[in-house]
């Protein structure tokens, strides 16, 4: 069954669900399963650029299949007239997405981390896989490309030529559009996490739905990817590209990091009621192993510190002020760098 957004799509109330009355949430640190969290330059080079990274990914897949035989989260499919978006929980916290043109039964998948899980969804939905959209080269996003192409020989693999994406058949440039059945995806270059990181935007207009942003590791619910291959200025520019998509845009991130990201954000802005409500909602969702996606870009701007570098309340909380003669974007990049530094320290504890 599908959740079918009504009116303004996915205007999920930040606090819906919440905690039982009288129960207070106290953030408790729990180490993430991301192989690069926290990470050194040497390990990142091994993971991203050598066969060791692929072997580590294979071990990740094996362990996750044993630990989460039905996936790490209970996803909720979203439908608009003519479109179905099916989140596929893979590895220990990744999401792949099967996006279906229900009229033609043609489909695309974004970041097929575990080919078996993706293939099972393809078979269950009875669709033809026409395209793989890869946000970036990291194995936990691209590791299923080869196996799926072997099974679906006419399937094309899209992504940036700047990233070493496995099985890439159709390199894309910034703002290039691709059609899958009656679906139209636009690729946006968003470097920072990797040099060739791209996000994909599904045009919802023909279906009476909102734009859908498949953000990979650029943007998470209340979070942002590590700028492994870019500066704070580069990452800020990429985040601004995403923010230009409009407040009703649905955010479909590459990882289930909501609880960790919201817990961290709540330490920065103690008086942010939208953040407090969203954290309570996320606690409830995760207690029930439910997925926390999608959110909307409008909602994200109320609590995601990586998108609030222009907000005086965050700047003040960080103890940062714009210098005389310092232009706004330079200052915002400095704010972003400090948020990132604190997030890395938070992850490392």
Q: Across the chain, which distance is largest between two alpha carbons, in Å?
A: 61
Q: How far apart are CA 174 and CA 232, in angstroms?
A: 20
> Tell me, what DSSP letter sits at residue 160?
-
- Closest among 280, 192, 281 to 232, alpha carbons compared: 192
Task: Give how far Cα 5 sits from Cα of 21, 83, 121, Å.
Answer: 28, 12, 22
Task: Give how far Cα 185 sits from Cα of 88, 176, 180, Å.
Answer: 19, 8, 8
Catalytic residue among 136, 163, 197, 248: 136
- Closest among 155, 157, 186, 154 to 173, alpha carbons compared: 186
Asked if 275 and 229 count as a contact pair (C-beta separation under 8 A), the reply is no
Task: Give how far Cα 193 sits from Cα of 196, 199, 231, Å.
Answer: 8, 12, 9
136 catalytic? Reply is: yes
Q: Annotate 127-137 with b (16+ C-beta within 10 A) or e (fewer).
A: bbbbbbbbbbb
Q: How far apart are CA 209 and CA 341, in angstroms?
A: 37
327 catalytic? Reply is: no
Q: How far apart are CA 20 and CA 281, in angstroms?
A: 11
3 catalytic? Reply is: no
What's the residue count for the chain? 349
Give the dihedral sign, CA 310/313/314/320: positive
Catalytic residue among 101, 114, 138, 248: 138
Q: Report angle CA 100, 71, 69 to the nearest 5 degrees.
A: 125
Catalytic residue among 101, 111, 114, 140: 140
329 catalytic? Reply is: no
70 catalytic? Reply is: no
141 catalytic? Reply is: yes
Q: How far apart are CA 335 and CA 239, in angstroms?
A: 13
- Integer-rounded Cα Rg, in Å, for the chain is 19
Catalytic residue among 101, 111, 114, 141: 141
Beta bridge partners of 84: 79, 100
Q: Report angle CA 58, 89, 120 to the nearest 5 degrees.
A: 80
Beta bridge partners of 133: 110, 158
Q: Which residues are catalytic?
A: 136, 138, 140-141, 193, 217, 255
């Amino acid at each position: 069954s599908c959740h079918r957004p009504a009116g303004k799509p996915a205007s999920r109330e930040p606090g819906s669900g919440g905690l039982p009355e009288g129960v207070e949430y106290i953030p408790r640190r729990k180490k993430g399963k991301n192989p690069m969290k926290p990470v050194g330059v040497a390990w990142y080079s091994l993971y991203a650029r050598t066969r060791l990274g692929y072997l580590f990914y294979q071990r990740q897949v094996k362990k996750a299949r044993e630990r989460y035989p039905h996936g790490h989260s209970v996803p909720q499919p979203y439908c608009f007239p003519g479109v179905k978006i099916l989140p596929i929980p893979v590895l220990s916290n990744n999401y792949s997405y099967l996006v279906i043109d229900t009229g033609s039964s043609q489909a695309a998948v974004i970041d097929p981390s575990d080919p078996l899980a993706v293939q099972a969804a393809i078979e269950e939905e009875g669709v033809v896989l026409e395209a793989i959209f890869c946000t970036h080269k990291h194995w936990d996003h691209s590791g299923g490309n080869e196996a799926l192409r072997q099974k679906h020989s006419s399937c094309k693999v899209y992504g940036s030529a700047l990233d070493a994406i496995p099985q890439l058949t159709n390199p894309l440039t910034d703002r290039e559009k691709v059609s899958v059945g009656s679906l139209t995806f636009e690729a946006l270059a968003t470097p920072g996490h990797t040099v060739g990181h791209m996000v994909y935007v599904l045009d919802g207009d023909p279906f009476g739905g909102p734009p859908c942003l498949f953000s990979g590791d650029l943007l998470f619910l209340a979070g942002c990817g590590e700028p492994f291959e870019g500066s704070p200025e580069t990452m800020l520019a990429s985040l601004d590209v995403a923010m230009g998509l409009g407040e009703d845009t649905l955010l479909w991130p590459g990882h289930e990091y909501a609880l960790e990201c919201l817990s961290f954000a709540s330490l920065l802005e103690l008086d942010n009621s939208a953040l407090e409500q969203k954290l309570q909602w996320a606690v409830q969702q995760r207690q029930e192993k439910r997925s926390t996606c999608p959110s909307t870009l409008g909602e994200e701007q109320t609590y995601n510190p990586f998108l609030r570098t222009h907000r005086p309340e965050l700047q003040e909380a960080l103890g940062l002020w714009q210098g005389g003669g310092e232009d706004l974007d330079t200052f915002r990049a400095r704010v972003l760098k400090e948020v990132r530094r604190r997030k890395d320290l938070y992850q490392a504890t």
